[in-house]
Structure 1
Amino acid sequence: MHPSLGSLRWSGSGGCSCSRRTKDEEPGVPEVNPRTSEDDDPGPDAPDEWLIYRGTGEPHDGIGALPGPPPWRDFDGGPLVEPGPAAESSSARRLGAYRHMAQLHRPGAEELEIVNAALYLRRPLLVTGDPGAGKSTLAHAVAYELGLGRVLRWPVVSRSVLGDGLYRYDAIARLQDTQIARDTRGTTTPGGIGSYLRLGPLGTALLPTAKPRVLLIDELDKSDIDLPNDLLNVLEEGEFTIPELERIADREPEVEVLTDDGAKVTVRDGLIRCRAFPFVVLTSNGERDFPAPLLRRCVSLELGRPDHKRLATVVRAHLGEEAARSGDDLIQAFLSRSRSELLATDQLLNAIYLTHYAAQPTRDRIADLLIQALDRPR
């Protein structure tokens, strides 16, 4: 047994403790509300040798040390396809121009443990918290530190259905091209069916790759009531089929389709099955409850309100050390107000950035205009 696996045991209350799990115990799904105090820093001497994601903000190749999956999460999709492209500008915007400064404050011990539990168990990570708590940023932080490339993002709205995340087939465009080819008497040729198929972010994440892709399913609580249930089978089985390709598999067993990255991959017999289960981050603002079957398939993490050290680190990562020092009074005021008002961290960043160019008393007035309670009546 890998030494780190022996250090995990899920207690009946859903917590994580450092003792060996006996073979009679069932693996569970923890749900943790991390502490947000400054004492939550695990410190340099913490027993964190099992951690793959360390929250340091420094890229490393630790993903290679991730042990094999549990038998019930072992997938055998193939043949392997090329890894996705490198991280893009969206991750740089999320993590900040001074993102290397994230090493000045690591996430809390429990947050690190739960993120790593999702990596080890190949389970989706369900992250809940107030707007601006850093739920979406967590996916970019993991992808950046572990070198997992571009984050695949699926922003969910009330009209979203499972098919949006898996793939899109443009049958109308194919029909139009066929009609044009007929009208021009063969001077133009419509493309094959693969020219009209494009994998969505979820479909691309499930392609068989050597390393896991990172998939962000953002604001799942805004979805239609059916979407969480529709996700169950795909997240459990790590595969899905494309009926349009299954129907022609006897004539065209291999079809090239576009991915969410814009690359072309070959789909065989209309089936896509993962090899390395993706690191899936489902975010929720807590506006609704999810069905128990979905919760059972996820590792749950609740992000509390950030403390002073965490907010200062966010400001430092985006605006630099000087901005964190000069904006300390705004950070203190933001923390005081957030005890009774719903505020978002990006409001604080906007205020500190803009007030850098304004003198007192204009500075205070601008900060008050930008940092307004999100839950106040309009």
Structure 2
Amino acid sequence: MTGPHTAGGAPDDPGADDWRMFRGDGQARQVTFPEAPPWRRFAPEPGGSRAARPLPYLIGPAEADVVNAALLLRRPLLVTGHPGTGKSSLAHAVAHELSLGRVLSWPVNSRSTLQDALYRYDAIGRLRESGLIKERARAREADGSGGLSEPDIGSYVRLGPLGTALVPTGRPRVLLVDELDKGDVDLPNDLLAVFEEGEFEIPELARLPEEQDRVDVLTADPGDRVPVVRGRVRCSEFPVVVITSNGEREFPPAFLRRCVRLEIAEPDKARLRDIVQAHLTDVSGDDIDELLRVFLDRRASGELATDQLLNAVFLRKGGVDLPAGGLLDAVLHRLGGTV
């Protein structure tokens, strides 16, 4: 790992401390940031959005069969397990392996509603723009320039992640519904009709006159527009829906009946070693063995996530000392309980 350097190019206090960029001494200095861990790189795509990062995702044959069952049945996959076991990453792995494009993500919180996931209509923005156009039109009529047309309603309707996933396409999109158990207690039931029918209506478009039966609306994909006919969006292929839950509460039986359920267990020693070597290909066995033993000992008495082990190995690989009771505790800290 390349350490920080001063503006003149010489190492700033080289030696055992060369990995430290921040010193806490109040002195300003120019430093060169070392390369980030592979799972924390955010290279932009030409369009400005975050590039897809096809990182390795290791899953056992039994778990892969459950994923395939959900794909064949066109049913949502409900993924449960402890934090840090790779539930959300599974959606990206499926999209990458099946070449299904960018994952549409819906992070659920206590304020999330089905309406937000389907579409949003900016009525205030359209009303404001309509008023401005009318003012300009009156001015143009006064000087003989002619009138102006009303604003296109499609510019004020944007499909959400779920709405975009239901747009008819040749191949299904991947939709990640992240941490559904953090949403309102009625949200799973609200999703039932959409998951069963594979369609929804946009009333603001359905009420338009007959000559406006087709409207191009915005989607959750930057710069993209799709046609909506008579205000109805209906999928041609049911999307690949991956729903994650940390098990904070139970879901209604009617919702569970419509899902294929996958429980991701905490990886054992052999799987953890494979995960580390897949993400950090040039890491030595000595760097892994000691930290793996410490990680497993600590996980036995408290909740830890796999990426915490990756963080520790990455630091050790870069020459960072991880003394027990110091920096190691900051990296391998227990996730459950109070902080």
2:78 alignment counterpart: 126
Residue 258 of structure 2 aligns to which amino acid in structure 1?
Answer: R
CA distance in 2, matches of 1:361, 1:167: 48
Any idea what SS the aligned residue of 1:333 has? helix
Residue 193 of structure 1 aligns to which amino acid in structure 2?
Answer: I
1:300 alignment counterpart: 261
- C-alpha distance 249-269 of structure 1, shift in aligned 2 (>3 A): farther
Any idea what SS the aligned residue of 1:115 has? helix
Contact 2:287 2:316 (8 Å CA) reproduced: no
- C-alpha distance 266-324 of structure 1, shift in aligned 2 (>3 A): farther
Which of 274, 284, 308 aligns to 1:313? It is 274
Query: Runs of 5+ in structure 1 lacking a partner?
Result: 1-84
1:275 alignment counterpart: 236
Structure 1 position 356, deviation (Å): 2.7
Matches within 5 A, 1:11-22: none
CA distance in 2, matches of 1:260, 1:325: 45
2:21 alignment counterpart: none
2:109 alignment counterpart: 157
Any idea what SS the aligned residue of 1:280 has? strand
1:66 alignment counterpart: none
Contact 2:80 2:264 (8 Å CA) reproduced: yes
Q: CA RMSD in A?
A: 2.2
CA distance in 2, matches of 1:278, 1:352: 37
1:259 matched to 2:219: yes
Query: Runs of 5+ in structure 2 lacking a partner?
Result: 1-45, 141-147
Which of 154, 165, 180 aligns to 1:194? It is 154
Which of 61, 83, 90 aligns to 1:109? It is 61
Task: Report which of the two structures shows the higher radius of gyration computed on alpha carbons.
Answer: 2
2:28 alignment counterpart: none
Any idea what SS the aligned residue of 1:322 has? coil
1:223 alignment counterpart: 183
CA distance in 1, matches of 2:184, 2:136: 44
Residue 336 of structure 1 aligns to which amino acid in structure 2?
Answer: D
Q: TM-score, normalised by structure 2?
A: 0.78
1:135 alignment counterpart: 87
Residue 125 of structure 2 aligns to which amino acid in structure 1?
Answer: A
Structure 1 position 363, deviation (Å): 7.8
2:313 alignment counterpart: 352
CA distance in 2, matches of 1:356, 1:363: 17
Structure 1 position 167, deviation (Å): 0.6
Any idea what SS the aligned residue of 2:301 has? coil
C-alpha deviations, 1:315-360, integer Å up to 9, x for none? 2333224166523321222122212211112222222222333454
Contact 2:283 2:317 (8 Å CA) reproduced: no
2:198 alignment counterpart: 238
Residue 148 of structure 1 aligns to which amino acid in structure 2?
Answer: L
C-alpha deviations, 1:113-133, integer Å up to 9, x for none? 110000000000000000000
Any idea what SS the aligned residue of 2:210 has? coil
Any idea what SS the aligned residue of 2:62 has? helix
1:327 alignment counterpart: 288
- C-alpha distance 314-190 of structure 1, shift in aligned 2 (>3 A): farther
Structure 1 position 213, deviation (Å): 0.8
CA distance in 2, matches of 1:321, 1:181: 62
CA distance in 1, matches of 2:233, 2:285: 47
CA distance in 2, matches of 1:325, 1:246: 65
CA distance in 2, matches of 1:256, 1:339: 54
Find runs of 4+ consecutive structure 1 residues off by over 4 angstroms: 186-190, 359-364
